[in-house]
Structure 1
């Protein structure tokens, strides 16, 4: 790809990785509309390292606190001795399902599931499920049931949201989208669901990015141009991703996810219309 394409795809990755609208879908759709080649699942996974760094910077204090508590707990032979240590182990346990399913369905994820039919279906279906989660939140509030904060998250919430995260392996579903939806179903506040979603993403995104980087290393080293473009896309994704995190956390303190639900449905229907008219190939 050209440097221009790399910058545009980096912006698309950074903007959409943390919003519940699917970065993978946009990295598949933008090239299709522009007449570029599909950058592929490997490119997507590696560029996500940029947004991973954005999460590390934004939640630096949380990560240091949780990591320190885990290490201290192990040294004191009391791994679950503090809430922060327990949070660390809950995040680790919640990561297991996506790793297992990612390995089991690796071939499908990198090939057939990248069809625009799958992506549009995932965009629309998850929008409907997210709207149901929003309805439940409003119903609970009307009954006087307060949503949960980060300190209220227990093993049940962590494991169920971790299992739900596996759905994100389907392009178009959105990792943040499915985990935030899972959090809302578990009665987490919107802001808490987003924060836990981002922290939960760290191990899985890091593992996927490093794995794809290792797999693609020889081909990347064989082409200086491809390597430079990948580095640029990753840096751009990280910078834009940091702003995206800050926006979403602030936005969800005062607003619902309605705008993202509408966007997902509109985008899914637009993709189907473009396929039907032959504008893009599925």
Structure 2
């Protein structure tokens, strides 16, 4: 079903109510931080149940749930980087490793900020063509192939301590791909980090830390957009339920991802994404999903 527009902002999630949004919050939280595309699942699950599309505003606001999960799971890394950077600034020690990593992360966020602003009219529009199931299907399939190539040809030996500004910028540029529904922010950045030769668990850690500013900016920007269109108290309370549920499920999603990458590889996600893309394209071609 079509979503609901409020002054050009897709607020379809409000009409779904608390129970459905809580269910979608679980799905969003799990898929947001796994390399399998939360946007794809936010379109597929409602379509399967005959629910209206919760809209791009819901997906963007849910970034704050991902932010809470990443910061809490990688708290020691975040704390050391922030405290170390502030200490380095006070000492004017710009060669400090914590300061350099923080500075690189800020620089690596610039590409997605520029692209996000440039494409905001298309990305956030009601019934945006980029949220079509065909686009999402092709994106799922395309990144599955790239992730497979990274698994096959990458050496998986490097650690974050060996990362350079060039590494950060390349992963940051890859992050721009996440603006295309179906690609997945964690999928694009994890693929890039693996291709650069990082160990699987280090690639995931690098991906999450580098994505913190982009995740925070996307979530806060969407809250501001919802504020500007005067979302009512009921709408805010529905969104709050989704955020709380998604935060908890996202934390466990990170835990599961790290265990899989430490003990196995990214191949389970390659297979899942590939099958998802094929099934989606088949369903669209056959007219089984609108």
TM-score by length of 1: 0.93
Which residue in 2 is equivalent to 1:279? 288
Give, in angstroms, the shift of residue 277 of structure 1: 2.5
Contact 1:46 1:209 in 2 (8 A): yes
Match of 1:97 among 111, 120, 134: 111
In structure 1, stretches of 5+ residues that fail to align are 141-145
2:169 equivalent to 1:123: no
SS of the residue corresponding to residue 2 of structure 1 reads helix
The 5-angstrom pairing of residues 107-122 of structure 1 reads: 107-110=121-124, 111-122=128-139
String of CA shifts for 1:203-225, please: whole Å, max 9, x gaps. Answer: 11111111110111155642x33
SS of the residue corresponding to residue 253 of structure 1 reads helix
2:57 equivalent to 1:42: yes
String of CA shifts for 1:113-147, please: whole Å, max 9, x gaps. Answer: 1111110000000000111111112xx4xxxxx61
Change (3 A) 1:92 1:5: same
String of CA shifts for 1:50-86, please: whole Å, max 9, x gaps. Answer: 12101111111111110112212222222x3211111
Which residue in 1 is equivalent to 2:213? 203
Which residue in 1 is equivalent to 2:35? 20
Match of 1:88 among 94, 102, 115: 102
2:174 equivalent to 1:164: yes
Which residue in 2 is equivalent to 1:264? 273
Match of 1:217 among 216, 227, 244: 227
Which residue in 2 is equivalent to 1:192? 202
Number of residue equivalences: 272
Q: Please, which moves more after superposition, 24-33 or 184-193? A: 24-33
Distance in 2 between the 1:276 and 1:3 partners?
33
Distance in 2 between the 1:43 and 1:235 partners?
13
Contact 2:30 2:246 in 1 (8 A): yes
String of CA shifts for 1:135-170, please: whole Å, max 9, x gaps. Answer: 112xx4xxxxx6101111111111101111111110
2:77 equivalent to 1:68: no
Contact 1:149 1:188 in 2 (8 A): yes
Distance in 2 between the 1:121 and 1:148 partners?
31
Give, in angstroms, the shift of residue 33 of structure 1: 1.4
Give, in angstroms, the shift of residue 201 of structure 1: 1.5
Give, in angstroms, the shift of residue 99 of structure 1: 0.5
String of CA shifts for 1:35-59, please: whole Å, max 9, x gaps. Answer: 1111111111111211210111111
**How large is the RMSD of aligned CA atoms in angstroms?**
1.3
Give, in angstroms, the shift of residue 23 of structure 1: 0.8
Distance in 2 between the 1:6 and 1:104 partners?
30
Change (3 A) 1:217 1:8: same
2:61 equivalent to 1:10: no
Which residue in 2 is equivalent to 1:230? 239
Contact 2:108 2:171 in 1 (8 A): yes
Distance in 1 between the 2:268 and 2:280 partners?
18
String of CA shifts for 1:166-213, please: whole Å, max 9, x gaps. Answer: 111100001101101000110011101100111111111111111110
Contact 2:260 2:266 in 1 (8 A): no
